[in-house]
């Protein structure tokens, strides 16, 4: 600058100073901005950087398995392939002007491989999203075709396609217990049945996988699951037994086809524990393909459908009257020759009778006899008695849509005809599950148990989290009344009872039939063309192992009686279940309450007197007592044949080596020599019969 003129040298210095100043100012701005980004706004920018650098994958845990009581899977989750797409990766590196053409090409090839509409695929690609499902739950052929599209052997390989495993609910037994189990929707949540009510326990808690990704968004490294227990939901073990459930559904379906019925249900309970061994509902559906099923076929009729119980309600009317001592077990009741006017209606009996005992009222199913018992109780005591048996309240099962039925409230006075009709099951409604629980209480010494459907709940490692136990809800009657009621109900399935079709060879069945008219919704009156046929029963009557309820809705006109439609279903289900459970006839209880019968051949005769509640007094049982000595070789014990039909009495006498001789007709009144006496084999025994009253 020495060679420059002073004016020019000063101008250069000024420009250099200005330039340095600007550079210093710019550097100050940079430093200030860096300080702001790093220190003052550091947390915000760190979050942005982490979002760009890391990738989070939402992992749905494996849904828990539903087992039967023996550990047989009823519903389980399996992994099936699904195809997803990264449209950004698919179109990366393609010039913008060629993208529309390439989208059309890719859409056509993908749609052909996956059998999808081209327009739907084109639309998904055009959105240019990082993730989108192309098709879920694909076949192996479609997976192979999809992999071929991504192969480098192709002229234009399609990038961004991925085959991912996805959980799918699978029901290995197809239609078995479908209305009870429900199904799982594509969103992973349960719909209907156990899948819905226990959805939170089954689905578990979702987890997240954290990892790094490169500039194209590809996952490079996974940090692993945050919670290993989130891999699976809880496993549910039901009290249902698959074999008994299968038998119940098989027989129910056969009855529905035979009688062209609208629907029906079968419930099987162990009265000792309250555990539900089977809950069948028909018609059913296949939950593996639930979309094609009719909504009414997905309904669990056993807990949802309400119906008028009809004559099965007479069991609980008589039980309440015996417990309240408003009737005596042997007290005859005048049945008005088959028709009895009350208020503005007339109650009819199918068969005309004058005098009937409570046992005979149950045996021939007399509406008039039951009505008189109900009227003798009165509104309040009848209502309270039915409520004690669980009618008008929820069974308390972990199932959606449970009905409590309809039981008129006691705070509104009942007119006489309402009390009378309620006593034989008209004007009220129940569910099959309520009936099953109530009749199970009779078989459990009068104790009403909370029904149990879930046996235990475990986590994914097998640790038991919950194991419900039987709980007594309340006492319905005394044990003595319950025992006597069982004997009264045996008459329904023997001799001239309405439920002889329910009798099981080698066992005594305590049960009741019902044929209830349905109400026409248009007229509001009972119809003569639509009925509900039902049967409730306990077997063996001496020590019940099974309580079974069968309900058939609208069987074919002309064949709709409960004794001919529902009772055979009970018999076949009971035969299979008893055989499966290993229950064999017990000769020590061949005659029910009389435990001294038929024991001579074992040399172990026993007998136990019991008391029954009558009308204000205790009545001693007249059961023959044990013999004074045990039978020796060549001797037999005279059996107690009282009440048996003539043919069966003869068969029993011959079976143990006695020579029977008959006097009269009807049922056995007494024998000579008398029951429990020890006699020589081959002795002639006189069997005196009397006609039914």
In 400-535, alpha helices (H): 416-423, 432-443, 479-490
Length of the chain as a residue count: 693
Tokens of 470: 């039987």
In whole angstroms, give the CA distance from residue 325 to residue 320. Answer: 8
For the stretch 357-391, what's the b/e string if a residue is b when 16 or more beta carbons lie within 10 angstroms of its beta carbon?
Answer: bbbbbbbbbbbbbbbbbbbbbebebbbebbebbbb
CB 236 within 8 A of CB 66: yes
Collapse the DSSP code of 220 into the 3-class scheme (helix H, G, I; strand E, B; otherwise coil) and give the result: strand
CA distance 233 to 305: 31
CB 220 within 8 A of CB 211: yes
CA–CA separation, 29 vs 328, rounded Å?
A: 106
Nearest to 457 by CA among 401, 400, 398: 398
- Of the candidates 77, 265, 281, 311, the residue annotated as catalytic is 311
* Strand runs labelled E in 363-471: 447-449, 454-458, 464-466
Distance, CA of 279 to CA of 646 (rounded, Å) = 39
Query: In 3-state terms, what secondary structure has residue 608?
Result: coil
Phi-psi region of 206 (alpha: psi -120 to 50; beta: other; left: phi over 0): beta
Nearest Cα to Cα of residue 179 among 287, 261, 252, 266: 287
Strand segments (E) across 442-509: 447-449, 454-458, 464-466, 472-475
Query: Can you read off the two tokens belonging to residue 441?
Result: 């209480």
Across the chain, which distance is largest between two alpha carbons, in Å? 161
* Structure token digits, residue 447: 């104790």
Structural tokens at position 335? 């049945």
* 270: number of Cβ within 10 Å: 22
Is 503 annotated in the active site?
no
Q: List active site positions.
A: 311
């Amino acid at each position: 600058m020495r060679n420059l003129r002073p004016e020019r040298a000063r101008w250069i210095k000024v420009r250099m100073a200005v330039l340095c100043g600007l550079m210093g100012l710019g550097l100050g701005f940079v430093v200030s901005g860096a300080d702001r980004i790093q220190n003052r706004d550091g947390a915000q920018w760190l979050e942005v950087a982490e979002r760009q650098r890391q990738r989070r994958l939402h992992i749905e845990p494996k849904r828990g398995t539903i087992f039967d009581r023996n550990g047989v899977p009823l519903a389980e989750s399996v992994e099936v392939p699904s195809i997803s797409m990264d449209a950004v990766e698919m179109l990366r590196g393609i010039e913008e002007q060629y993208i529309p053409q390439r989208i059309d090409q890719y859409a056509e090839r993908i749609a052909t491989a996956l059998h999808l509409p081209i327009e739907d695929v084109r639309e998904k690609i055009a959105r240019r999203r990082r993730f989108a499902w192309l098709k879920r739950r694909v076949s192996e052929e479609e997976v192979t075709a999809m992999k071929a599209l991504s192969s480098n052997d192709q002229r234009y390989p399609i990038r961004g396609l991925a085959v991912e495993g996805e959980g799918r609910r699978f029901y290995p037994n197809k239609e078995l217990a479908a209305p009870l189990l429900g199904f799982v929707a594509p969103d992973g949540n349960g719909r209907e049945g156990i899948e819905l009510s226990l959805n939170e326990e089954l689905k578990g808690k979702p987890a997240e996988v954290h990892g790094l990704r490169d500039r194209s968004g590809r996952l490079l490294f996974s940090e692993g699951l945050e919670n290993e227990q989130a891999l699976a939901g809880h496993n549910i073990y039901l009290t249902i037994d698959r074999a008994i459930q299968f038998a119940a559904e098989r027989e129910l379906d056969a009855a529905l086809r035979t009688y062209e019925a609208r629907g029906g249900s079968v419930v099987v309970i162990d009265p000792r524990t309250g555990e539900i061994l089977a809950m069948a509902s028909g018609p059913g559906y296949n939950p593996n393909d639930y979309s094609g099923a009719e909504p009414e076929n997905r309904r669990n009729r056993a807990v949802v459908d309400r119906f008028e119980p009809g004559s099965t309600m007479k069991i609980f009317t008589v039980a309440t009257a015996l417990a309240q001592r408003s009737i005596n077990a042997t007290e005859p009741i005048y049945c008005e020759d088959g028709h009895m006017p009350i208020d503005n209606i007339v109650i009819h009996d199918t068969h005309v009778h004058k005098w009937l005992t409570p046992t005979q009222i149950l045996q021939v199913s007399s509406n008039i006899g039951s009505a008189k018992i109900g009227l003798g109780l009165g509104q309040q005591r009848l209502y309270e008695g039915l409520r004690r048996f669980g009618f008008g309240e929820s069974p308390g099962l972990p199932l959606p849509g449970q009905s409590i039925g309809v039981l008129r409230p006691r705070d509104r006075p009942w007119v006489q005809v309402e009390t009378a009709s309620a006593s034989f099951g008209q004007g009220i409604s129940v569910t099959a599950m309520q009936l099953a629980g109530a009749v199970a209480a009779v078989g459990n010494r009068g104790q009403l148990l909370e029904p149990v459907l879930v046996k235990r709940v475990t986590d994914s490692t097998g640790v038991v989290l919950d194991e419900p136990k039987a709980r007594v809800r309340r006492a319905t009657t005394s044990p003595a009344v319950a025992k006597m009621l069982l004997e009264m109900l045996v008459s329904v399935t023997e001799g001239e009872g309405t439920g002889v079709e329910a009798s099981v060879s080698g066992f005594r069945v305590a049960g009741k039939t019902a044929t209830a008219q349905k109400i026409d919704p248009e007229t509001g009156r009972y119809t003569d063309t639509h009925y509900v046929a039902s049967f409730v029963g306990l077997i063996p009557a001496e020590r019940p192992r099974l309580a079974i309820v069968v309900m058939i809705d609208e069987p074919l006109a002309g064949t709709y009686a409960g004794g001919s439609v529902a009772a055979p279903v009970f018999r076949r289900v009971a035969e299979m279940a008893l055989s499966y459970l290993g229950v064999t006839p017990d000769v020590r209880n061949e005659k029910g309450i009389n435990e001294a019968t038929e024991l001579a051949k074992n040399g172990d005769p026993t007998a136990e007197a019991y008391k029954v509640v009558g009308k204000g007094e205790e009545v001693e049982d007249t059961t023959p007592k044990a013999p004074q000595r045990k039978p020796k070789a060549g001797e037999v014990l005279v059996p107690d044949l009282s009440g048996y039909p003539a043919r069966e009495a003869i068969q029993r006498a011959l079976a143990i080596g006695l020579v029977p001789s008959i006097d009269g007709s009807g049922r056995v009144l007494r024998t000579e020599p008398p029951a429990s006496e020890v006699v020589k084999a081959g002795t002639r025994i006189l069997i005196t019969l009397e006609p039914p009253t």
